Amino acid sequence: MTRARHLPPLGAFPDVRPRRLRRHAWTRRLVAEHCLKPADLVLPVFVLDGEARSEAVDSMPGVHRLTIDRLLPLAERCLAAGLPAIALFPVTPPALKTEDAAEAWNGDNLVCRAIRALKARLPDLGLIGDVALDPYTTHGQDGLVADGQVLNDSTLGALARQAVCLAGAGCDIVAPSDMMDGRIGVVRRALDEAGHPETLVVSYAAKYASAFYGPFRDAVGSAATLGRADKKTYQMDPANGEEALREVALDVKEGADMVMVKPGLPYLDVIRRVKDAFALPTLAYHVSGEYAMIKAAAQQGWLDGDACMRECLLAFKRAGADAILTYAALETAEALCREAAAGG
């Protein structure tokens, strides 16, 4: 738990005037405690089957599902703008979805083909692969299901097979987002035994059963399969903060290289506590609903969308996040590059 800092006496007005440091743009830059840079940002992308196709995600203004050939130039822009990595999420054709999610470990599935194409074209761009079964199941849950229950232990082997499959295709980081107990250790051992000891594992360690995921589920097509069901039996209760530290501690012990808090803005306190407690690379996911709210309000003219987006991303840095997954990553990075070129 974070301890309160006891500040020394700072004097009083009129001898002390904090506004002096805010008078000029250059002094504000000089004393800024945190800054946002392209290397802090990761762009999640939605991969679509087929060729020469681009589909707008209606609930996420500015976001598109892209076939691999359309994804490659977008990835080139990401690398040119200084983004270190992108995160891949497949839009699995309904005909390939099954109860056992077997397409998840098909070495020629959509996401594996995308990984190979991206690595061939852009070997220096990091690739993050999602490890969870929901894009591949007919029921939309992140794990295997029997008698209406999501099975923890039976799911672990499936997740391990999926992670090894992603690593074999060339994925640099596997990211278990399923929230099954014990999955980080099982995935780590499976990677090592399969000859992938250098593949990184970033754990969605504190992933909450949030209402902010709706647009993402629209984007990948899991909203229809999930229906009225929810994920509250395995994703975390938004009421809990102490539990997040326990979840992170378990994943760290099992071999996670990095940890993530998801969603982001409603859980800034959790990000801060995780970073203070473990001092590990800590990621935040600025999720689809958070992004969509800003974009929708901007479209209505109610907010300055660019300024609000930038302020939110800076808040993640202030809270302790080392990196941020956000659908605004590319537009923000390119804007930062333009500002740097202009001397701003």
Tell me how far apart the alpha carbons of residues 13 and 132 are, in angstroms, rounded to a whole number. Answer: 56
Q: Does 295 qualify as catalytic in the annotation? A: no
The single residue of 207, 231, 275, 295 carrying the catalytic annotation is 207
Pairing of strands 85-90, 64-67: unpaired
The single residue of 97, 231, 262, 295 carrying the catalytic annotation is 262
Residue 128's domain comprises: 36-341
Mean pLDDT calculated for residue range 268-288: 97
Residue 43 lies in a domain: yes
Residue 204 lies in a domain: yes
- From 63, 86, 67, 217, select the one nearest 140 (Cα to Cα): 217
Residue 305 lies in a domain: yes
> Of all residues in the chain, what percent are helix, strand and coil, respectively (each to 5)?
45, 20, 35
Query: Given CA atoms 129, 113, 82, 62 in this order, what sign does their dihedral have?
Result: negative
Could you read off the pLDDT of 140-165 as tens digits, one per residue?
898 999 998 999 999 999 999 999 99
What Å distances lie between residue 261 and 152, 167, 241, 250, CA to CA? 21, 23, 11, 14
Q: Does 119 qualify as catalytic in the annotation? A: no
Q: Tokens representing 141?
A: 């849950």
Residue 178 lies in a domain: yes
Residue 14 lies in a domain: no
Residue 76 lies in a domain: yes
For 208-234, b/e burial (b = at least 16 CB within 10 A) is bebebbbbbbbbbbbbebbeeeebeeb
CB 236 within 8 A of CB 208: yes
CB 206 within 8 A of CB 274: yes
Could you read off the pLDDT of 42-100 as tens digits, one per residue?
999 999 999 999 999 999 999 999 999 999 999 999 999 999 999 999 999 999 999 99
Could you read off the pLDDT of 297-331 as tens digits, one per residue?
999 999 999 999 999 999 999 999 999 999 999 99
- CATH at 196: 3.20.20.70
Tell me how far apart the alpha carbons of residues 99 and 97 are, in angstroms, rounded to a whole number. Answer: 7
Look at residue 328 and give its three-state secondary structure.
coil
pTM over 0.85: yes
CB atoms within 10 A of CB 189: 13
Query: How is residue 19 annotated by DSSP?
Result: G
Q: How many domains does the chain have?
A: 1
Calculate the CA 67 to chain-centre distance.
20
Residue 9 lies in a domain: no
Residue 2 lies in a domain: no
